[in-house]
Amino acid sequence: MAAGIFNRGNRTNVRPIDLGRHLVREIDDKRSVDSKSRRVAPNYFVFRLHPRDLDQLEEFQAALEIELGEAAKEYARSEGYHLKGPITVSLVADDKVKSGRIEIDSKVRRAESPITASSLKVSGGQSYPLGESTVVIGRSPDCTIVLDDANVSRRHAEVKVVNGVYAIADLGSTNGTKVNGVAVGTERALRDGDIINLGSHSIRFEAAAR
């Protein structure tokens, strides 16, 4: 857990590497055995942090939640733990938690029905339903969503399912991708109502009702 986003935030009150260590401990402490004698690990995690501590992580919070989910999945696989559904990790503010402290809640949450009702709505009105397949956005006619815009690269960005949620990643485009005005790096989780900007186009992410 020393790679990637876990190397960032070393000057914050709560370091990403410490969140990773708490996650591993929580998985081990809360594992159980089901009726088929499988060791079951929790797959739904909520980190509760002091609001000031969470503010320090805000710049890369979405990427951190995704990487913590990947770390949890890898650890569960390495230990032979069974997961009942996709892993979800959230960081939330809680003013009852002291600054510098990490509180974590977890549970086993069974897989829900596929999130096929989510969609991307391009400015102008056309809507594209999302499923389990990766959606590529760009100028090339081979893309899932084709944008006729000289400021959009041939393969500009992609949207795919990561740990049970949709995430967007820039594919090395010339002019970059933004979500709600913030540049997207390798990957960013999408939330209902997020506005994706590519070239002169705006695309609204509309999440399925749960």
Q: Which of 61, 79, 107 is the last residue of a domain?
A: 107
Q: Which of 107, 141, 165 is the last residue of a domain?
A: 107
- Confirm whether 49 is domain-assigned: yes
Sheet holding 88-93, edge to edge: 88-93, 44-49, 103-107
Together in a domain, 88 and 136: no
Together in a domain, 88 and 125: no
Q: What confidence tens digit (pLDDT) does each residue in 55-108 have?
A: 998 888 888 888 999 999 999 999 999 998 888 898 999 999 999 999 999 999
Together in a domain, 172 and 130: yes
- Confirm whether 114 is domain-assigned: no
- pTM of the prediction? 0.57
- CA 30 – CA 156 distance, rounded (Å): 41
Q: What confidence tens digit (pLDDT) does each residue in 32-62 have?
A: 999 999 999 999 999 999 999 999 988 888 8
Together in a domain, 32 and 85: yes
Total domain count, the chain: 2
- CA 210 – CA 85 distance, rounded (Å): 15
- Confirm whether 129 is domain-assigned: yes
Together in a domain, 64 and 132: no
